Each structure stands twice: as structure tokens, then as C-alpha cells.
Structure 1
Amino acid sequence: MKDDAHREPPSADSDARSPQASADRGLARGLLIAAVVGLAAWGLYGWSQGRWSQGNLPEAPNDRAAADSGSPTADGAPSGGAVIGEVSWDEVDDPSRDGWPTEDFARRAGEQLDRIAKLLKRAKPVKVDKVASLTDERFRCDPLLPPQRTTVLEDDLLHVQRFRRDATQTPDGEPEPPYSGAAGLAAALNDLLATFPAAQKLKCKFKVFRVELGEDEVTTTQYVACSAKTERGLVEQNATWVIRWTRPDGEEPPRLREVVVDDFEMTHLPEQSDHLFSDCTEAVLAANPCFQDQLLRGLNHWLERSQQRRLFLRLGTPGIAVADVNGDGLEDIYLCQENGLPNKLFLHQADGTAVEMSGEWGVDWIYDCRSALLIDWDNDGDQDLAVAFLGGVILATNEQQQKFVVREVVSTNDDVMSLAAADYDADGDLDIFVCSYYSGAGLGPEQVRVSGIPASGADFVFHDANNGGPNSLLRNDGEHGFTDVTAEVGLDQNNSRFSLAAAWEDYDNDGDQDLYVANDYGRDNLYRNEGGKFVDVAEVARVENAATGMGVTWADYNRDGWMDVHVSNMWSSAGNRIAFQPEFKASASPAMKRRVQRMARGNTLLQGRPDGVFVDTSSKAAIEVGRWAWSSNFVDINNDGWEDLIVANGFITGEDPADL
């Protein structure tokens, strides 16, 4: 198979295979990805000061020249990294100059915590002299490995222990912490390290997400994550530490005064099963030329070579679908690629490898496809293909399990993001819901704010945006093709959000498929199916969520007979620190502040009930900190009959340390 023998997608009105966009889709190269969600520290500084109100753009100060900042960074490079105009990033993002002492302290505390992390990552006994400069003379701390741990899960695969400090405990009723002084900190760290015997590549990371200033001390709350492969198997620890620090004047680093462990969780995989999953990518795909030439190069490589400048091209969001397309009982993979790269169809072989066959099957389209479904939409017993590209959906039938043939291309809003299929009208065939993000033909440079937040008008509201692209419901009419029935069935209600994902499920147990739509920058939708017509009941069902919805999945996680829903959002340590400070949006109403604070909280788990009103169990279930979460899926990982949760997270890694 030749990788250069690829096809562009067919147009909606002919057999030609090159649909053209109707308008310019350029996007300014200087887009600052960090501010897409508005939760990066600089973004919240600007917002809190009113800089981003009603069309005003954040302006870089012009009175500080980048040349004035000549101090080297740790790696010897000039400080500042990225340069905006004549100003370095470090000068723009400097909380000590912007009146944010809490952020300045978070930076300084973070530097001290990084020193502790480096000591732990050495996986060797910590000596007192290495921590003497970290501790105040009055330092004391809890055991960092709480002795009161409770075993919550123990089977052949996993052993999980937890500790949570009783919220009703008062300091007066607690015993004196057993560790004090620099020697105490060293001893506490060594006790923690004892759970990682003969550790290989121990990882340790702190995330400060709360800062409270006092007169002579500061309290921070931070997550601590440590993991390593040990002689006993894999060990992972996640904890919350509450730390009291000294509050020194000037640039003197703060010192630890007290460490309290608020909660702690340790997961152990025994030696005989030292991992849950194995990365088999190379073993399965390496024999295909496209593995080295395309798949291993990474998004940054292709961004430098693409003329496309849409926002989501720069985020790397193509989709994937899995199904048995050739009827051999083995699951195959259809992979959408970046703009200009042909989509791939990998056929699963009996030896476990996969062979790339997109050209032979006629589906190696090159036009920025964003999502795919392998479903039997023509009801002939095999898996057909639906692929979303910018401006429409390609519908191809599976012919004799040997090739796909395009039957129809349905036009939609231009900025299509994802697809979800179900038989909403119970007529025996699958219908398709199409999620869209931006409205119109996309954003050109003149429509993009420096921050990266959509600027399609002064009515854009960061926490409740309502000027996104319209979603579509395509009804399957059999031989007559697919028909857009969005307005006819009531799905035009609240249909101008920035939608990224949707999932069908009969949440009310009445026999038909309802629809949850996860939206960025604001409220989600829950459309209840009432005999083939839909009503948005998100508000009354208490599922509006109002955050950065990027993925959604259903399951009955508590096995009570009512479906529950998990929504992937974004957890931001900076957002949690800043949005809870009294000076942040000081003139805003409490309700508005809560909405913004919600944007930083992270993932959401909503428990279904018989009355149709959902209960938010996110905190209780400890699922909020999914980091920069994208897709998620309920799946029973350890085959114990309970639905577990897998959350895909992360983002593009740049060479500049200031680049998210």
C-alpha cells in the first residue's frame, strides 16, 4: 500500500473527492493556547482587573523592554521564554507586579516543594542537612504515611488503601504530631519512601491549589502524587497536604512550619502483575510505513507544515473508531488524521498485528476529519462508516466486507467536532447527532482575540457562552438518505453552545434514547426524549454543569438501576487558587463567582435518581482531579462487576516552558 495514494473526501453533490471550505479558516499564529479556558493565571489576572470586559483586548505593557530582563533561567536560556511584542512572557506573567501576593507566594512555595520532590525522586534516604533550610524551627508534621489507612479494595489485581481526616476533628482534640524539626521532616519523608522499596524512576509532583494569607504565616493546600515501579510491584500514592509556612519579607524563601495530611490513597499492583495495561502500539503497527512516517512524528511536526490555522487543528483532536469491518471476528481501527494527512484503516490480523488498508478500502481521505463512527447504519449486518469533516458528514456503506462506498455527504455547520449514534425514533435504524463548536465558517485572524477565546462578538461570555455553532440531528430515512430534523424534533432549543461531545442513553428508563451534550464555556444540555420529540431538561435535572465540557459517558456506576453520567472538564490549580481569592472579581455577585469557580473544579459525576433529578457526587467519588481531561469511558477494568472510569487527559507539549 502506498501512503501517497490517498483520497480527499467526496463532495455532497458529486463523486469528486475534495470538498472546499466556503470561507477563510485562518487562525492567528500568535494564539495563546493557555487562555482558551481562561483559567491560566495571567488570564484570570486580566479578568479580575476588568481588562477583558465587552470587547476590550488584554494589552501587553509597552514600558518594559524584553532586553531589560537578562537574568538566565535554570537551563541557561534568557528568562522569559516566549516574547509578546517587545515584552517577555515572564514580564507579562509576573504576579508580584500585578498585585497578586497569593500567586507570588504560590510560586515561591512551589519552588520549595520542588526541592522536596527532587529528594523523593532520588529514592534514597533523605538526610537532615538536605531539609534543614526548608523547615522553620517550630516545624512539626503528621506521618506522611498515615497509619490509620483503611483497605477499600483488595483482589488479585489491585490493593487500595485510603485515609481521610475526619472533618469533625478539632485541633484541640488531636495528639501532638510525632515529627518535629528538620530531623522530623527527614524521618517523615523516609517513612514515606519505605513504601517504594528499590524504586525505579520514582515520580513525584506537587500542585498548589489553595493559598490563604495570614499576618505572619501562609497556608497552602496541595495535591501530592508519587509513583514508581518497586520490587513489590507498582505503587502509586495520591494525597492532599495542608501546609503552614512562614511569611518572610523580600525574596527569602518561605519555610515549612506544619504539614497535615488531609487525605491519602495508596494503590498497589502486586509484582506478578506490575501493570494494568501494556503499550503495544509499536508491536501492532510498526510494520506499516505510516507508523514511522506519520504517526510517530507528533502534532508539532505537522503544525509547522500545515497551511490550516483553525483553532482545533492546533489542538490535535482527530477521532478514532473501533469495530470489526471485515467480519473475521477481530476488531479493526479507523483513525482520522490531521489536515493533509490521509485517514487510516488498520485491519487486525490473527497474529495480533494490524495492516493499513485505507487505500484499498477507499477511505484514505485527507481533509481534516474530526470524528468517526463504525456502525451498521444501513441495517445489512456489517459495519458501515460515518466520518465528520469540516462542513459535513461522509456516509459510506460496507460492501461485502471488502471496501467502503460513499453513499451520501450531508452538509452541516462548518466546525464539526464529534458524532453520536442511536435510534432516537425507534424505527429500527440508527440516526446520527452532530456536535459543532464555532458558528459559521470558522475564525480568521480578525475574529480571534489575543487570548485565544472566541471573539465572534461582544456578547461572548466566558462562563456561559451562547454563540457557538448549531448542532444537528440527522434522521436515517433508509434508502432516502439522512435528513436534518434538528428543529423538527426540538433539538434547536439552547442549540448555540460550543459543543464538543454527546452521548445517548435512556436515563429515565422509559424505553427511548435521551441525549446529553457536553459544552465548552458554559452549560450542558440534557434532552429528554418524549415520543421522538426532545425537551432540554438540564436545569430541572440539575445537570447544567456549566464548565469546560469535553467528553461524556454513561453507566450505572452504583448499580441502583438508574444511569449515571460522567462529564470530562478541566481541573486547574491556578484557577482554584485565583478564583477563590476575595479580590478576584470583587464587584461580581456571589452567584457569578461560583460559576467561574466551577470552571476550575474539574470533572463531574452525576448520579441518576428515579425522580429524574441528578445528584452531584463528584467530590465524594474523588473524580474531580482529572487534570486537562478530554474523553472518558466507563469500563470494568478488573472484571469485578463494577464500572471503573478511564479519563484521557493532557495537552500538547511545547519547547517553551511558558507554553502549555
Structure 2
Amino acid sequence: MFSRSVIFRITPRNRACTPIDRSKRAKFRALRAGLIAAACTTLLFALTACSPGEDDTQSSLAKPPSTARAGTTASPKVLDAMLLSEELIEGFRAEMGALAFAVQNLELPDDRTRRLFRTLDLQVTDLAQKPDAPNSDPTLQALQLSSQNWPITEATTATNSNLKLWRPLFDKIDRFSWTNFKIKSGHFVKSTADEPDEFEMRVAFSGLARLANNHLSWVRTIQTLRWRMRAGNDPTKTESWRIVSWQTKSANHLDSPSPLFEDVIDSALPDFAQRETARRSLHERFTADHLLAQREGKKFEWPHERFFYQKANGHPGLSVVDLDQDGFDDLYIVARWGRNQFFHNRGDGTFEEKAAEYGLDAKDFSSSAVFADFDNDGDLDLFLGRTLERSRYFENQNGHFVDQSSTVIDRPLPYLASSISAVDYDGDGLLDIYVSTYNGTGASIEQYYEYLSLEDATAFDRLALNTRHAFLNSVGPPNVLLHNEGNGRFSVVEDAGDLRAFRHTYQATWADFDQDGDPDVYLANDFAPDAVIRNEGNGRFVEVTKEIGFTAFGLGMGVSWGDYDRDGNQDAYVSNMYSTAGSRITDQLGYVDDRYRQMAQGNYLYRNEGDQFRKVSGPKPPDFAVEKTGWSWGSQFVDVDNDGFLDLGVLNGFYTAPREVAIAGDT
């Protein structure tokens, strides 16, 4: 819900029917102006380019191209068409859901959705009777996967009553476990300013099926649908439209005899109470309680003054650690609400929750955790990153964790931690700690003074006053570098330079990408340019982002280093956001700053070519198709199939509505 409605739900319900009288025109113009003003100030994809005079001195990007003129606005005609197009697409989501349900019944259309199609003269291209031979790719064969494309028939004419799409595919399938139609783009085909009568959309289908031979199949198709409005009807109402053409463009299914991964929590956590606690989200419960109370006109007791149910930037975390060094990985789950959980690996495929026994059951506001031997005594200690409370340091004392936050450093540990790194940046044999911070782009100045020292809050205030663009160059709290002094003591590095960042840094990932013997770092920053910072030695760090080829803009949420091509150099995979709607809208607004387009492009893969990095991901070969993954929170290079080559695992998602309060259109 949040990922769609906040950014893209632009629905002027007062859009008049044809013809539009003067009073309705005035009302629509006022509504349109309000929508545009709101979009410019609150949406990720603002409808104007950078404001004149914007301070880009902190930006790690080149200036926008001359085609992105500062202060330019689209014509009313372009905006009218875009708004009506987006309203139609939003309305058609219900029809897409009905078609997806029909596919689950192995009918397209079924009795419920046949009404969406015109009665006569339907133009159709469909699947041929048999698929092509399986793809002979050795990588697929090694994983026991089979990929097949379906040829597409020549165009034919059908009637509503005899229309049966995708029948050859359905004959191979026993059942679907999930299905989805997603509108990729849409535009008016025949229209005047006030009389749109045909609308064409490109739609992607994906679904997971169980075949008749019991294999699993991931089915994907692309089709173009053309809708025609019935004369005299309201163009803003989807019931006014009928499908007159269904052109299947491509179809593929990827089959596997068994799942590559499956959820084993039922067997891994045999204790029912522990399993239910592990599955429970207190934030989801608070959200449901809040929305139900709001619906019923009742008061909701907020768990914290900064609680917000659409929590866009807060997150729990997971650490994998062999705490007792028995050869089996344990799991530590940190929570924004409630107590952290530690699942000890029994060595037989099952886990047991033991956080309280180890002293690891810290309560509320945890975001991240790093286990490492910070005091060099042979066992693992813990640095716990927290948000609305101060971070904490725990020393491992004979297998029990003791909070030493007030004794290991001469000042309080930081608030607002988003991720933690353990790194020996100066090569002295002691692990130092780097704390990435994030405070939300809507946080008030007062909240910064609450969570930062006076000196840091003043520095933030000064930077914020000189930075005018909240989406492209947002200022945030400073990151913190803690130097390990030995004997279990740390000090804050005051002159950390570019490592301070003053951004909203989701993740910092370290690697010696220039192979000079010391670790460098990539900072994934939200609503601002990412930063690549080279370690020059002697405690000196210099930002080199543009200098070495990192030029693309994104909503940075994570980064992973790995040598995917095995040339000895560390390559980088950056997690951002891929948004179909974001790309669709910016494509319609031809004047828009290119950085807004990049915000919606997705993840980036950079190849390390020695002294420069080159982006090698993109939509078409020879670029790697690893950008369009979704709303990516974190990605990881990992050799899943143990073939010696690094694969990519990407965690996606944004907002799933609690079942008790979900409405149509929620995800």
C-alpha cells in the first residue's frame, strides 16, 4: 500500500466527464495544482527538476544535463494526460487482480472477467500449441532447471463467448500457488484533449505453478492490452472501458523438480511458543491496532512518540554467528519493538531461543548487531546498534554478555544507528567500529538536537540550511568512527573527515578495492548521492566517488563487494529501488532531471577495472540484467550453487498491510 499510494496514487476524482463544463474545468485545475504542489514537496518522484540555486556542493554527482532545466514545469496538457493515465492505471489494478484470480482457476477469461472484453471482433495473439525446445544453458542444467519459450500465434479475431487464452499452457499445469498481473506502462492511443477513447497498456504476468508432472514452474508473459471507452461514458471509471485487443508478446516458463529454497521454520524451531514469537511482528500488531482504532474512532496509545505505522526507514536486523564456536551458525535477531532473540544452533537442524540465558535479550529500538573479538581475548563481543535509544557495547565474559557501554568509552554511544561495521581501518590489529546513522527525511530540527551532541546538531543545522533539495541532496546525522584503543577501550575519531558523511546512510561496506593494503568503504545513502571513500592511510579518508566512476544516482539502501568475474578485483553491487510506476511517470515528463529517472532504475552492478569502476548492469545485453529486482533493502554476493562463481541474492519488499486492516490494492 505505502509503496504505491504515497508515491504514485495521484487520483483526481473530480476529473470531469466529456464534455467538461467551465465549473468542472476550474475545479479540476485547482485539484491538479494541489496535486502537483504536493508531489513536488512530498513524493519521491517530484514533478520538477532541481530548484534554481540549489546547493550541489556536497553532491557526488555531476550537474544534471542541460535538458533538465531547473524550475521547468510540464504543460497543463501533458500533466492532464499523465494524471488521467495514472488514475486509469490505478483503477485497472482491480481488473488485473480479477484476471490473476482467473488464471489461478486455469481460465482466461473466467466467467467473472469475461465482462472486461468486448462482445465481438476481439483482436488476439495467443500461445502456440507447443513450447520451443528447452534452453541448453549449462548453468540451468547444473541446477536441474529447464527454461522454455512459447511461440506466439498470428493475430486472429475472436468473440467474447469463445475466447480462451493460454489454453496450451494451462493444459500443462495442475494449479497455481500465486499469480500477478502488473501494469508496466500505459498511454492513450486515440484522444483529443478531453475525449480519450482508447488506452493501451503493457502488462507483465508472473506466477508460480505446480505442473502436472509435479515440477514447479515460474511462468512469465508479456502482453499488450488495448481498451476502448464506450461512447458517452466517464473516462475515469474503469467500468467504462472494454478490452478490444489482447496481444501476447512473449511467454516463458522456468521449471524445477523441487524448490531451490524453502521455509523450514516449522522444523527448525520445534518449540511452538518460540516459533510463534519468532514469527510475530510487534510493529505489525501496533499498526493494526492503530488503524482499527482510527476506523472505530477510538484512541490509540502510541508505544513511542515517534511511532509511525508506515515506518519507511526503520527495520529489524539479523546477525549470523557461531557464538560458542561449535562449528554451527547461530542466529541473532534484533527488533525495533520487543526483545531481541538468540537462536542457538543445536547441530541437528533445529534451534533453541536462548537470548536471556546469554544476556542478549535487549529490549526495543535495535537495528543492527556485530559480533567480533573487540578486546582480543579469544571470544566474541557484541556491538548493538540502536535507534531511539543509545547503542550498546557488550563484553563476552565467560559466555555471558555484560553491558559495558558506560566504561569502554568516555562519552555516550550514538543514537540513530542503521548498520554497524567492524573494521581494522588503521592496521593496528584491533577491530574498530563504524556506525552508520539514519534519522528519516521527515525528522524535525528539534529531534536532531535530541539525538545528537550540541556540536553535531549545530553542524547538521548549518548543512541543512545550505541544502535545498530533500530528495537529491538530503542532510542527515553524522556517522561515527570509534577507534579501538586496546584493553577494551574506544575513542571517537573527531577528525574522520568524509566518513562523517552527514547523510542518511543505510549501510557502509568495507573492502580494499584499490589493493593498497587498507580497507576502503562504500556508503549507501538514501535521498542523496552515495559516497565511495578511499583510505589513504594515517587516518586520512578521501571521497573519490565520481573520480573512479560511480556516477549513477539511486536511493542507496545497501552494497555488497565481491569478485564476480574472478579477476582479483572487488566489484560492487548496490541496492536501490526499482519502480515500474516511477519509470512510467518520469518517462511521460520529458523535462525531468535525469537523477529522478535513475531513482527508479533499480540496482547497479559495477565492475572494478583497476583504477576505474564501470557500470555493467542494464536492461539489455551485453549488460547484466540485475537491476529490475524490486524495492531492494539489501543484496549479497554468495555462491549459492558452490560452483566457484558468485551469485546474487536480493531481499526486496516495502510494505505489507496487516490482514485485519488490508484494503483493495494493498500488498
* Residue matched to 2:455: none
Alpha-carbon distance between aligned partners in 2 of 1:226 and 1:529, rounded to the nearest angstrom? 47
State whether residues 201 and 226 of structure 2, in contact with CA within 8 Å, keep that contact through their aligned partners in structure 1: yes
Deviation, 1:130, is 6.5
Which sections of structure 1, spanning at least 5 residues, go unmatched? Answer: 1-31, 57-94, 166-174, 448-455
> In the alignment, residue 599 of structure 1 is paired with which amino acid?
M
The residue type paired with residue 554 of structure 1 is W
- Is contact 1:369–1:388 with CA below 8 Å preserved after alignment? yes
- 1:322 aligned residue: 320
> Is residue 475–residue 503 contact of structure 2 (8 Å, CA) maintained in 1?
yes
TM-score (norm 1): 0.74
- Return the alpha-carbon distance in structure 2 between the equivalents of residues 123 and 38 of structure 1: 34
- The AA in structure 2 aligned to 1:653 is A
The whole-number CA distance in structure 2 between the counterparts of 1:223 and 1:548 is: 24
> Cα 1:388–1:324, aligned 2, differ >3 Å: closer, same or farther?
same
Cα deviation, residue 120, structure 1: 1.2
> CA offset at residue 233 of structure 1?
1.4
Q: Could you tell me which residue of structure 2 aligns to residue 652 of structure 1?
A: 656
Structure 1 distance, partners of 2:115, 2:133, is 28
Equivalent-residue separation in structure 2 for 1:434 and 1:187 (angstroms): 58
TM-score by length of 2: 0.73
Q: Deviations over 1:373-416 (max 9, x none)?
A: 11222233322211011354322222333545536366455321
**How big is the shift at 1:240?**
3.4
1:523-580 deviations in Å (ceiling 9; x for gaps): 1111122224222122233325432222221222233333222222222233222222
Cα distance change, pair 538–412 in 1 and its aligned pair in 2 (3 A): farther
How far apart, CA to CA, are the structure 2 residues paired with 1:317 and 1:39? 23
2:269 is matched with which residue? 285
For residue 162 of structure 1, report the CA deviation from its aligned partner: 6.6
Q: In 2, are the aligned partners of 1:413 and 1:440 still within 8 Å (CA)?
A: no
The reply on whether 1:193 has 2:193 as its aligned counterpart is: no
Correspondence list, 1:385-400, <5 A: 385-390=382-387, 392-400=390-398
> What corresponds to 1:605 in structure 2?
605
CA distance in 1, matches of 2:187, 2:164: 27
Describe how 1:233-244 pairs up with structure 2 within 5 A: 233-244=215-226
Which of 498, 503, 510 aligns to 2:504? It is 498
Report if aligned partners of 1:414, 1:440 keep a CA contact under 8 Å in 2. no
Provide the C-alpha distance between the structure 2 equivalents of 1:35 and 1:47, rounded to a whole number of angstroms: 19
Please point out which of 199, 202, 206 is paired with 1:225. Answer: 206
Q: Retained in 2: the 8 A contact 1:508–1:612?
A: no
- Cα pair 1:233 1:268 within 8 Å, conserved: yes
Change (3 A) 1:298 1:107: same
1:181 maps onto 2:163 in alignment: no
* Structure 1 position 370, deviation (Å): 1.0
Deviations 1:489-521 (Å, cap 9, x if unpaired)?
Answer: 5423xx122111121122233332111111111
Aligned equivalent of 2:306: 310
Contact 2:374 2:488 in 1 (8 A): no
Distance 1:510 1:99, change over 3 A: closer
Cα RMSD over matched residues?
4.0
Structure 2: 5+ residue stretches without partners: 13-30, 44-77, 191-196, 290-300, 449-463
Determine which of 528, 536, 550 is the counterpart of 2:534.
Answer: 528
**Is 1:629 aligned to 2:615, yes or no?**
no
- Contact 1:412–1:472 (Cα < 8 Å) also in 2: no
**2:408 partner SS:** strand
Counterpart contact for 2:341–2:361, Cα < 8 Å: yes
- Determine the structure 2 residue equivalent to 1:566: 573
Residues 323 and 331, structure 1, Cα contact 8 Å, conserved in 2: yes
Partner of 1:143: 127
- 2:378 aligns with 381
Measure, in 2, the Cα distance between the counterparts of 1:268 and 1:487.
55
User: What is the CA-CA distance between 1:110 and the residue it aligns to?
Assistant: 3.7
Between the two structures, name the one with larger relative contact order (CA 8 Å, sep ≥ 6).
1
Q: Is the 8 A contact 1:38 1:462 kept in 2?
A: no
**How many residues are matched?**
560
Q: How many Å separate the matches in 2 of 1:158 and 1:433? A: 42
| Corresponding position of 1:452 | none
The separation in 1 between residues aligned to 2:559 and 2:522, in whole angstroms, is 8
Which residue in the other structure is 2:117 paired with? 134
Cα separation, 2, equivalents of 1:164 and 1:372: 48
Structure 2 residue aligned with 1:51? 38
Q: Is the 8 A contact 1:102 1:211 kept in 2?
A: yes
Q: 1:46–1:52: 8 Å Cα contact kept in structure 2? A: no
Which deviates more, 649-658 or 400-409?
Answer: 400-409
In structure 2, the partner of 1:202 is 177
Separation in 2, partners of 1:37, 1:356: 38
Inter-CA distance 574–428: structure 2 relative to 1 (3 Å threshold):
same
Question: Partner amino acid for 1:541?
Answer: I
Aligned to 2:469, which of 440, 461, 467? 461
Distance 1:413 1:37 in 2: 31
